Amino acid sequence: MLDCSEGAQKQLRRMRLPMMKIDHIFISHLHGDHYLGLAGLLFSYHLIGRTKPLNIFAPEGLQEIIELQFRVSDHKPAYPLHFHIVREGGQQVYEDKNITVETIAMEHRIPTYGYLFREKQALRNIRKDAIEHYNIPIEHISKIKSGKDLVRDNGEIIPNHKLTKDPPAPRSYAFCSDTGYTEQYLGQIKNVDLLYHEATFLHDKVDIARQKTHCTGIDAATIAKKACAGQLLIGHYSARYDDMKLFEKEAKRVFPDTILAQEGLCVEIGNKENRE
């Protein structure tokens, strides 16, 4: 889960997303609209008897807030609650067999971090016809998947490319919220498949955006373009706007493959190569 604003629990229920599947929560920064739903979620986990660990990644201060809230309520979470304090960008904070997550340093009034999710390169796909045709012994399969040639006991060599297909290219997702316009993380998010980037103001309010360390639709699209992103998802529109289509319109002038974030939207992350 990325950020957790007030009412997140209710929203999870409305979207029929099973809250017990959430084991890792990544908080960008400690402005209220990005974390005020967390305490309620954590209390609910306690009340419904969660036992499996929960990991929270966040800048300094959140752990103190949550621990204080548990303390005054005279509860201790019934499940292991692990805080991972984020102090810099470009830091790998999570890894499992499928993905890695690293922090991205945002430019904001208080310490703020985006998160970059990268799939790991999958093993090569073995061709079903090759298994039969070359009569591949089962004990060789995992070696072949990892790219090795098939070497038979009699010394015969079947090259890997005859046995396997390329696996799908690993996909990546960058979540960049909130930030003023900066190119400091362009290198890090280069070629990302899906870039979520905040766009708080329309570009006619670029001065206010600069002053409040937020971005415009044009800013977000410029970052997407310079980073050669596959797709751009924008959001975090200021409450002063009613017509979000204006954000889409201005961003698309710079980066055509732009999507407007809205409540309940699901976006499938396709890897760039397959999409092109």
In whole angstroms, how close is the CB of 33 to a second copy at the nearest point? 8
Complex with a second copy: residue 103 or 172, whichever CB lies closer: 103
Complex with a second copy: residue 45 or 117, whichever CB lies closer: 45
Alpha-carbon gap, residue 134 to 128, rounded angstroms: 10
Q: Take residue 186 and report the two structure tokens written for it.
A: 């362009």
* b/e burial code for range 125-140 (CB count within 10 A of at least 16 → b): ebbeebeeebebeeeb
Q: Take residue 61 and report the two structure tokens written for it.
A: 């201060």
Query: Residue type for 93, please?
Result: V
Alpha-carbon gap, residue 37 to 151, rounded angstroms: 57
In whole angstroms, how close is the CB of 235 to a second copy at the nearest point? 18
**Catalytic residue of the set 33, 193, 219, 257:** 33
- Chain centroid to CA 59: 17
Complex with a second copy: residue 6 or 149, whichever CB lies closer: 6
Complex with a second copy: residue 110 or 151, whichever CB lies closer: 110
Active site residue 33: yes
In whole angstroms, how close is the CB of 237 to a second copy at the nearest point? 15
Return the SS3 of 105: strand
In whole angstroms, how close is the CB of 43 to a second copy at the nearest point? 4
Alpha-carbon gap, residue 12 to 15, rounded angstroms: 5
Partners of 81 in beta bridges: 54
Binding site for a second copy (CB under 8 A): 6-7, 9-10, 30-33, 36-37, 39-40, 43, 61-62, 64-65, 68-69, 71-74, 109-110
Catalytic (active-site) positions:
33
